[in-house]
Structure formats: structure tokens, C-alpha cells
Structure 1
Amino acid sequence: MRASDRAYSLLRSDIVEWRLAPGDLLAEVEQSARLGVSRTPLREALSRLVAEGLAAPAGRGVVVSAISLDAVTDLFEVRLPLECAAVRLAAHRGDPALFTALAEEFAAAGRLIEDDDGGQDAYYALVARLDREIDDAARNPYLLQAQKPIRTHLARVRRLARDNPRRLLASAREHEQIALALGAGNAELAEASMRVHLHNSLQHLRSPLTGDHDTHHREEHHG
């Protein structure tokens, strides 16, 4: 792997996983030393991150980009038609038994969500499996390519709202309905279920940006 590719991959992971937070300065000298690369490949990596919107120029340097209410809304405006197209194709082209089995896993996902020892990570892995199976069933490389940058930003935004069990349980039920519709080969129901899920996800992700999430978080732990 080229040095610039390695630096890009490591920085991208740090940004998505919030080891580098919005506004953090990506200083060339510091990051070169930390990542073990020279400044030329680091600059290439930073340029790619800026192009993706994960970093932004600031004065004479580069910082991790901010996440705003407008950005989250814009993200979902693009995500909605792509995800709906994917589930419609998957309903027609996918393996019904595979999606029915995934629906059963989502029906039992409450045990994962309530497990304090890595349960939420296991739940997100289940969601990622459903995404991959929808992608594979849709069999449209152009659609997949269009979704990649959206999912990168979405993974980062999810960390912002991290993440009350009540919403995760509702999300599991929503994913179960999507998987059941795909298992039945019902494209209209799959799309409708996806629209409901994305609407609810957007409202949840917007709440920490408008201040509602902090209030809700306090009520959950002190109410």
C-alpha cells in the first residue's frame, strides 16, 4: 500500500470513529510523525479527505470538518432515493430466504442492544450485514458507487447521536420490517419501510444538533 493511501485510510478511520473530532487541526508535522509518513504523501491524503468533505481548509492548515444540521439533512436528501432504489431492486433480485433469516435476527436483536458488553457494536454489525446483502441483491455497481461516500458520512454522523437503547430497539423493528418485505419480494412495501426508517433516523440524528438529545439523555438517566 502506498504511503498516501495508508495515511488516508488511517486518518479517515480516525475521523469516522471520532478519535479526531470536528475542528481538530490536522497539522502536517504532527500527523506525519504519528502516522510514520513524510509530508508529501500526508498532503495527498489530506487533499482526498477535503475532497470527500471529511476535512476542510482552515487558514493555512486543514481541520476535521464540522457536522451541521443542514449537512445531516442534505445527507439524507441524497440517501433517501439511493436506498429506496436499492431495496426495490433487491426485492426483485434477492434471495427471499436470506432476507427472511435476517428479519428473524432483527426480531431477536433486543438481546444484543441490551447487552452492555459490546452489544451495540454487534447490532451495528447486523445492520451492516443487511446493507451488504441489499447491495449484493441489487446488483447495480453504479448505485453502489453512489452510496459509498454517503455511508462514510453516515457512519460518522451516527457517532454524534450515540445512542439510546430506545431508538436502537425501534431501529431493529424498522430493519425487521424492511427485511420481511424483501423476503416477501414486495418492492413497494420494502420502499415504504425504508422511508419510515430513514425518516425516524433523521429525526433522531438531528436531535443532538438542536439540543433535544441532551435533554432526552438526562431524562433517561435521571427520570
Structure 2
Amino acid sequence: MPSTETGPTDAYRRILQAIDNGEFNPGDRLVESELADRLGMSRTPIREALQRLETQSVLARDGRSLIVSSLDHDQLGELYVVRAELEGLAARLAAQHAAPEEIRVLYDMIDADKKLMSDPKAMSRANKRFHRQIHLASHNRYLIQQLDSVRRSMALLSTTSFSAEGRPEVAMAEHNAIVDAIAGRDGDGADEAARAHISIAYETRLKIDAEGRNGS
């Protein structure tokens, strides 16, 4: 049965999802009345959701307007430093605590994702699902909360590293290495593989951004 939730929590989730999906990009202005019409909600839950997103720095003030925040070069580096630490810890804990069923799901995700490698946006969505599954397999609620915060900031990136030539194939091999280490209950190996994966993703994104600046 479809959800009938129309409160601020649902408004928050739907606006954040729209940003994550690229329906709103950094610098885009979010107008309360337009969002209310778009989501079929009253303006009160929209207003509360926008206030929450501003508090979390997903949105920023531009005069009297709210716009989708953007990350500068230094913020991007800071974000990836934190992400590498947390993703490594999640993989390490997953190697200790993941149930056999959770490990099989991770392998199934990799097999399914190999069919998406020609579609960067689909790969990006699948990548988020894959990493979220590892987060859950860590069975540490406080770590998951911190990774959710990182995920919100990652939604502010207007490009995906999967648009780089050859990146999807390499990323799938990296994902497989992470899960192999988790399946082998190798915490050190899982941590190292996850950190390497995030490092290469960061390097790839820097190259994409540099090419974009040089081409403008």
C-alpha cells in the first residue's frame, strides 16, 4: 500500500532525494510554493524540511532565497578524507559482523551492477545502494548515522566519477575486492580495499573537475 505520509519528514526525504538524483543542482534556487505544488503538499512541511536542510548545510542562503549548496575544492578534499575513514571502518566491521546472507546480497549487487556499466547515472545510484548495504552490514548504528551525513554532502556533487572512461569496470573490481575481504573475515583487508576504492574515486573526480575547468 503506498505511503500517505505528507509531513516534514517525508518532505525532507523527497527534497533530498531530488537533489541526490540531480533534479536540483548546486546553485539552484528552491522555492517553497513551487516545491509544495511539485510534491503535492502544504507549505508548512516544506518550510520545515527546508529549514532542516539548511541546518545540515545541504541548502545555503543567497540573499532571501535558499539555494542548493556547492562544495569548493577544499571542502571536497575534506569530505573524501572523512568518507575514506568511515567507509574503511564500515568494511572492517562488516568483516566482523555481516551475516552470510548479507554477504551474498553484496555479491548479488555486484553481479547486477555489471549490467549497468554503460549508464553512469544508473551506476551512481547502484553504487550508493552497494555502499549503504556495507554500512548496514557493519551493524553499528552510530557509524551508519555518520555515513548518512556524508551521503547528504555527497548529494551536492553535480557529477559522478562513473562518467570517466573505464571507471565503472575498475569500480566493480574494487567492489569485488571489498566483498571478498568481508567474506573472508579479513578486517584489515576490507578496510584497506575500501579506503583504496574511495581514494581512486576521489582522484577520478578531481580529474573530471580539472577537465571541466580546462574545457570551459
The TM tier, using the shorter chain, reads: 0.7 to 0.9
Match of 1:212 in 2: 211
What secondary structure does 2:185 align onto?
Answer: coil
What secondary structure does 2:166 align onto?
Answer: helix
Structure 2: distance between partners of 1:186 and 1:214: 41
CA distance 1:195–1:158, shift in 2 (3 Å): farther
After alignment, is 178-187 or 164-173 more displaced?
164-173
Structure 1: distance between partners of 2:107 and 2:40: 44
1:76-155 paired onto structure 2 within 5 Å = 76-95=80-99, 99=103, 102-103=106-107, 106=110, 110-114=114-118, 121=122, 123-124=123-124, 126-155=126-155
Q: Does 1:186 align with 2:186?
A: yes
Measured after TM superposition, the shift of residue 6 of structure 1 is 3.3
Q: TM-score, normalising length from structure 2?
A: 0.81
Structure 2: distance between partners of 1:198 and 1:182: 16
Match for residue 46 of structure 1 among 45, 50, 56: 50
Measured after TM superposition, the shift of residue 167 of structure 1 is 0.8
Q: TM-score, normalising length from structure 1?
A: 0.79
Q: Quick check: 1:135–1:144 contact (8 Å CA) kept in 2?
A: yes
Structure 2: distance between partners of 1:204 and 1:170: 11
Measured after TM superposition, the shift of residue 100 of structure 1 is 6.5
Q: Does 1:60 align with 2:83?
A: no
Q: Quick check: 1:56–1:63 contact (8 Å CA) kept in 2?
A: yes
Structure 2: distance between partners of 1:97 and 1:13: 28
How many percent of aligned residue pairs carry the same amino acid? 29
Match of 2:28 in 1: 24
Deviations 1:83-127 (A, max 9, x none): 11111111122245753674586478544314x6xx862x45654
Q: Structure 1 stretches of 5 or more lacking a match?
A: 217-223
Q: Structure 2 stretches of 5 or more lacking a match?
A: none
Measured after TM superposition, the shift of residue 25 of structure 1 is 1.4
Structure 1: distance between partners of 2:37 and 2:102: 47
CA distance 1:134–1:182, shift in 2 (3 Å): same
